[in-house]
């Protein structure tokens, strides 16, 4: 007698990510109560299960939901606002002044919803956020059904969100307390960068991180200027300063890391620090190239993020993992650096490891949450097909993402969002475009 379950997905290929380099042909996934209960051949699944929802996805590959390991979601409202500028000019003369004028609870709510809509349509099922008003981002993520790690931003100077580092920490912890029992929502400390956060709050964050078992998410070694200024002013490289302050540990997620020498890489590897690579943003801002081949050789967990749309200018993780694979090759001058599967793993399971959720997410395995992305490879752009992993990494685009499930719930159905009113959202975004334009 067949077992009744919620959902049965039958794809041409299932790419579980774990075990490595595995492609399962004519396989599918059985889902019940938000969890994967079987990964088997079509015939076995249809004999064993009677599903309320059956999806036969001919020509599709099923992969774990993509994990955007670093973004500033609300900054989607500043997409294209200040292009073709180096990082510090972009920040100090354009982004920070614009934020001072416009950032509010409403700005964060609408910008985060826009970002989530874009991410779901791109196959992303979890994102790691760093922005102001974290309680608003957490609420929008909960409302829309996406998984999220919400950063509690800490910075020394005042913004619309808080006046000083202690107030940022206090308000962030209050948001954490409000959502700490909410399924699918996690929190981490998010000190902006070593050059914007002083020693005292960084020490406090290190202590709180250990006491509360929370991650730390920070921009680090993003540009040569950042490192040179730190050496000039502090007498040491930023990563060494963080080490002296007690921040280097498996709880630390370091973003960008384009300026690394061998000693830096050794520190990262020895302390189990995660590196989050944002190739397109780094290229657009001319910040440098993260030495991903050396990091992988040192057994560092390498994840991938998009950064915010103000510096990318999209949240397309398929495009990002393709850029990561290609940039690794030219950065190392080695065509074998970061093969296609390694890039896919960085955008899925490695992202889950960085966020501390790899027991539940990041691969298609029995017992894990059903966070899944279906990609239609039966298109002109991805034919002929010799290797589905290669086609996903080097040829497919986000327009080929047709279905997305988060925790077993269908969030994208044949390219249509199920939990977000697209027309209403676009009306709000046009309002913000007009408002921001008028106050430039």
Domains located in the chain, CATH noted: 3-64+362-407 (2.30.40.10), 66-355 (3.20.20.140)
DSSP assignments along 314-366, one per residue: ---HHHHHHHHHHHHHHHHT-TTSS-HHHHHHHTTHHHHHHHT-TTTSSS--T
DSSP assignments along 355-420, one per residue: HT-TTTSSS--TTSB--EEEEE--SGGG-S-S-HHHHHHHT--GGGEEEEEETTEEEEETTEESSS
- pLDDT value at residue 260: 98
What phi and psi values does residue 351 have, to the nearest 5 degrees? Answer: -65, -40
Instruction: Give the model's confidence band at 440: pLDDT under 50 very low, under 70 low, under 90 confident, else very high.
Output: confident
Tokens of 377: 């490879």
Residue pair 125/370 in contact by the 8 Å Cβ criterion: no
- pLDDT value at residue 25: 98
Residue pair 231/266 in contact by the 8 Å Cβ criterion: no
- Taken as a whole, the chain contains a residue count of 440
Work out the percent of the chain whose per-residue pLDDT is above 90.
98
Element (H, E) at 255: strand 252-256
- pLDDT value at residue 24: 98
Element (H, E) at 209: helix 199-212
Asked whether the predicted pLDDT for residue 390 surpasses 80, the reply is: yes
Give the tens place of pLDDT for each residue, 120-158.
999 999 999 999 999 999 999 999 999 999 999 999 999
Segment 205-210 mean pLDDT? 98
Cβ-proximal residues to 177 (8 Å cutoff; 6+ apart), any chain: none
What phi and psi values does residue 80 have, to the nearest 5 degrees? Answer: 75, 10
| 0.85 exceeded by pTM | yes
Count of other CB atoms within 10 angstroms of residue 211: 8
- The sheet that has 66-71: what strands, in order across it? 66-71, 124-131, 147-154, 185-191, 215-220, 252-256, 274-277, 302-304
Give the tens place of pLDDT for each residue, 153-177.
999 999 999 999 999 999 999 999 9
Taking the C-alpha atoms of residue 337 and residue 360, their distance in angstroms, rounded to an integer, is 29
Segment 376-401 mean pLDDT? 98
- pLDDT value at residue 87: 87
Segment 82-97 mean pLDDT? 91
What phi and psi values does residue 125 have, to the nearest 5 degrees? Answer: -115, -5
């Amino acid at each position: 007698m067949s077992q009744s379950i919620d959902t049965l997905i039958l794809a041409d290929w299932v790419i579980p990510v774990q075990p490595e380099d595995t492609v399962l042909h004519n396989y599918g996934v059985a889902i019940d109560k938000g969890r994967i209960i079987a990964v088997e051949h079509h015939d076995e699944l249809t004999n064993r299960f009677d599903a309320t929802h059956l999806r036969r996805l001919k020509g599709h590959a099923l992969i774990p939901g993509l994990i955007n390991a670093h973004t500033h979601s609300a900054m989607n409202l500043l997409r294209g606002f200040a292009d073709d500028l180096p990082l510090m000019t972009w920040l100090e003369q354009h982004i920070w002044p614009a934020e001072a004028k416009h950032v509010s609870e409403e700005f964060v709510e609408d910008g985060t919803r826009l970002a989530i809509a874009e991410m779901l349509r791109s196959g992303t099922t979890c994102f790691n956020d760093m922005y102001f008003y974290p309680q608003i981002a957490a609420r929008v993520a909960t409302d829309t059904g996406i998984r999220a790690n919400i950063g509690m931003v800490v910075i020394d100077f005042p913004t619309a969100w808080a006046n000083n580092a202690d107030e940022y920490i206090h308000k962030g912890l209050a948001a954490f307390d409000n959502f700490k029992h909410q399924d699918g929502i996690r929190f981490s400390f998010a000190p902006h960068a070593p050059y914007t956060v002083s020693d005292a709050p960084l020490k406090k964050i290190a202590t709180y991180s250990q006491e509360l078992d929370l991650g730390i998410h920070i921009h680090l070694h993003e540009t040569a200027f950042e490192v040179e200024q730190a050496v000039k002013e502090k007498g040491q490289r930023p990563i060494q300063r963080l080490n002296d302050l007690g921040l280097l540990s498996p709880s630390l997620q370091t973003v960008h890391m384009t300026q690394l020498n061998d000693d830096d890489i050794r520190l990262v590897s020895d302390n189990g620090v995660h590196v989050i690579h944002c190739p397109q943003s780094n290229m657009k801002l001319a910040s440098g190239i993260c030495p991903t081949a050396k990091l992988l050789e040192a057994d560092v967990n390498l994840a991938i993020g998009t950064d915010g749309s103000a510096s990318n200018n999209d949240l397309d993780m398929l495009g990002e993992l393709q850029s990561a694979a290609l940039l690794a090759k030219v950065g190392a001058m080695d065509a074998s650096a970061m093969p296609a599967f390694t890039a896919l793993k960085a955008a899925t399971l490695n992202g889950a490891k960085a966020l501390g959720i790899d027991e539940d997410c990041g691969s298609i395995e029995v017992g894990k949450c059903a966070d899944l992305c279906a990609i239609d490879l039966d298109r002109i752009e991805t034919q002929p097909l010799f290797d589905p992993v290669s086609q996903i990494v080097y040829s497919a685009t986000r327009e080929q993402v047709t279905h997305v499930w988060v925790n077993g719930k269908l969030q994208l159905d044949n390219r249509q969002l199920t939990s977000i009113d697209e027309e209403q959202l676009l009306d709000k975004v046009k309002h913000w475009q007009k408002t921001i334009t008028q106050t430039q």
